[in-house]
Amino acid sequence: MSQIDFVVNPGGSLTGEFRVPGDKSISHRSIMFGSLADGVTHVSGFLQGEDSLNTLRAFRAMGVDIDGPTDDGKVTINGMGIRGLKEPEQALDLGNSGTSMRLMAGLLSGQAFDLELSGDRSLSKRPMKRVTEPLALMGARVETAAGGKPPLKIKGGQPLKGIHYDMPVASAQVKSCLLLAGMYAEGTTCVTEPAPTRDHTERMLTAFGYPVSRTGSTMCIEGGGQLTACDIDVPADISSAAFFMVGASIARNSDITLLHVGINPTRTGVIDILKLMGANIELLNQREVGGEPVADIRIRSAQLKGIQVPEKLVPLAIDEFPVLFVAAACAEGKTVVTGARELRVKESDRIQVMADGLQILGVDAQPTEDGMVINGGEIQGGKVHSRDDHRIAMAFTMAALRAAGPICIEDCENVNTSFPDFVGLARRAGINISSQQV
C-alpha cells in the first residue's frame, strides 16, 4: 500500500500574509446544529478537510439536504428540526474524526432510530468510555467494541434524563457530547469541568437560539428546546495557524501575518505559551464574527527561551503541543511540560511519538507520564514517522526550518484531515517541502 511522505529541506524564512483553513471545531458544529435547526443555515469559510467532510456526509446520510461546500467554503444546510433526522441505511463512517464520533454519540442518543458510528484504523483505537459511561447515566444505550473502543452502536428510542456530571478530565468533546444529549433529555443536564476547555458548543448553541447557562465551571442546558437557523462565518483555525506561528518564530528573518484567525479565549494557550517563551506575536484588527472573537496575527522571528509551561494553560493548547515541542527544541535552555496526559490518547500517543522523533533528530527530549522535558539545542536531519497523525507530520515540517539536514516525515496522508493544501501553503510561505508517494 502506498503512503505519502514529506521531504523538507533545511533553512528558509517565512514571509507574507495568508489565511489558513477554517476552524475544524466550528466547521463540525455548524453542520450538526444547522442540520437540527428550523430554517436554512448559511456557512462560509467551512473547512474542507476530511474530518469535517465526514460530518457533512453523515448528516446527509440521515436525510439532511446540504448544498456545497463550494470551492470558497460556502455550505447551505436545509435544517430538519431537532427531531427531524432519519435512520441512515448503513453505519456512519466518520473516518479519523474523534470530534465527530464523540459529539454525535450524544446528539444521536436521543433519536428514535438505531444506528452505528464507525471510523478508520486510528479512530478505532481511541477511547470512547469517557462519553459512553456518562451517556449511560442519562439512560442512553451505547455499545462499544472491546475496551470501550469504536464502533459505537446506539439504540434508539431511549428516554434520556438530565444529570449533573463532574468530568474527571478536562475535555471539550465530553462536555459537548453531554450538552447535546441534554437537548433530548427530560429536565436539566449540567457538566462541571475541572479546567476550562474550548466553548465553541456553548457559543454556537446560543447563536442558534438555544441557551446554555454557565455558573463558574458548570454548564447547564434544559431539554426540549429548539434551534433556529443562522449564518456562520468560520474563522481560520488557530490550531492550524499554530504551525506557522512556531515556524515564523524559529526561522530567521521571518515576518508573517495570519488573517482572520479565531482567538476564542479557550483556545489561545498556544499564543500565551509562545509569548512566555519570548515570541514576537501581535494581535491586530480584533473583532467578533458570529459570536467568536477573531484577529489577524503578526509573528516575527525571535530567540525563544525554555520555560516551565503553566499547567493552567495546558488544556487551552492541548492540540498545539506537537509543534510547541518543536518550539522548545529550538529554545535556549530547558522547557518542562506537565499536566498533559491527554496527549497520550489523541490520534497517536503524541508525547511518545514526538519524543521519539525529536530524539532521532538529535534533540534531548525526555518523555514523562504527563508531558516532556526538552533541552533546546541543535536539530539534525533524519527520518521520522508521523504515526498517521496529521499534527505530528506538520510539527516536524516546521522543525526543518532550523535543522542541519533534510527531514523526511513518513506517513503524512492524514494531514488532509485538518489542513487541505498544507504543502502548497507551506511552500508559498517559504518552506522547502515536497510531498512524495512511496
For 152-209, give the DSSP string: EEEESSPPEE--EEE-SS--HHHHHHHHHHHTTEESEEEEE-SS----HHHHHHHHTT
Give per-residue pLDDT as tens, 74-103: 999 999 999 999 999 999 999 999 999 999
Q: Is 311 helix (H, G, I), strand (E, B) or coil?
A: helix
- For the domain made up of 24-233, give the CATH fold: UDP-n-acetylglucosamine1-carboxyvinyl-transferase; Chain (3.65.10)
Only one residue has cell 498545539, namely 320
CA 147 → CA 96, 115, 134, 150, 152, distances in Å? 19, 20, 16, 9, 12
The domain limits of the chain are 4-21+235-437, 24-233
User: What is the average per-residue pLDDT within 230-241?
Assistant: 95
Chain center to CA of 401: 24
Q: Which residues pair with 67 in a beta bridge?
A: 76
Return the SS3 of 403.
Answer: strand
C-beta separation of 1 from 73 below 8 A: no
Q: Which DSSP string corresponds to 164-177?
A: EEE-SS--HHHHHH
Whether residue 250 is predicted with pLDDT greater than 80 in this model: the reply is: yes
Q: Could you tell me which residue, 169 or 408, shows the higher pLDDT?
A: 408
pLDDT tier at 394, thresholds 50, 70, 90: very high
Superfamily of domain 4-21+235-437: Enolpyruvate transferase domain (3.65.10.10)
pLDDT of res. 347:
79
Q: For 253-295, what is each residue's pLDDT tens digit?
A: 999 999 999 999 989 999 999 999 999 999 999 998 877 899 9
> Model confidence over 307-351: pLDDT tens digits?
999 999 998 999 999 999 999 999 999 999 999 998 988 878 999
Active site positions, annotated: 319
Give residue 312's pLDDT: 92
Strand partners, 215: 218
Residue 306 in contact with residue 333, Cβ under 8 Å? yes
Task: Indicate if the pLDDT at residue 2 is higher than 80.
Answer: no
- Gap between the Cα atoms of 233 and 243, Å rounded: 22
Residue 133's pLDDT band (boundaries 50, 70, 90)? very high
pLDDT given at position 345: 80
Q: Looking at residues 407-416, what average pLDDT do you find?
A: 93
Question: E strands along 307-370, which residues?
Answer: 334-337, 364-368
3-state secondary structure of 90: coil
Length of the chain: 438
Please tell me the predicted confidence (pLDDT) of residue 434.
Answer: 96
Identify residue 310 by its one-letter amino acid code. P
Query: DSSP assignment of 101-165, as one string?
Result: HHHHHHHHHTSSS-EEEE--TTGGGS--HHHHHHHHHTT-EEEEEGGGEEEEEEESSPPEE--EE
Query: pLDDT by residue (tens digit) across 210-231?
Result: 999 999 999 999 999 999 999 9
Asked if pLDDT for residue 417 goes beyond 90, the answer is no
The answer to whether residue 157 scores a pLDDT higher than 80 is yes
Contact 265, 293 (CB under 8 A): yes
Establish whether domains 4-21+235-437 and 24-233 are of one fold. yes
429 has a pLDDT exceeding 80: yes
Whether residue 420 is preceded by a cis peptide bond, meaning omega within 30 degrees of 0, is: no
Cell of 279: 515570541
User: Taking the model in full, what pTM does it have?
Assistant: 0.85
Per the structure block, which three cell numbers stand in for 331? Answer: 529554545
Q: What is the pLDDT of residue 1?
A: 65
Tell me what the pLDDT averaged over the chain comes to: 95
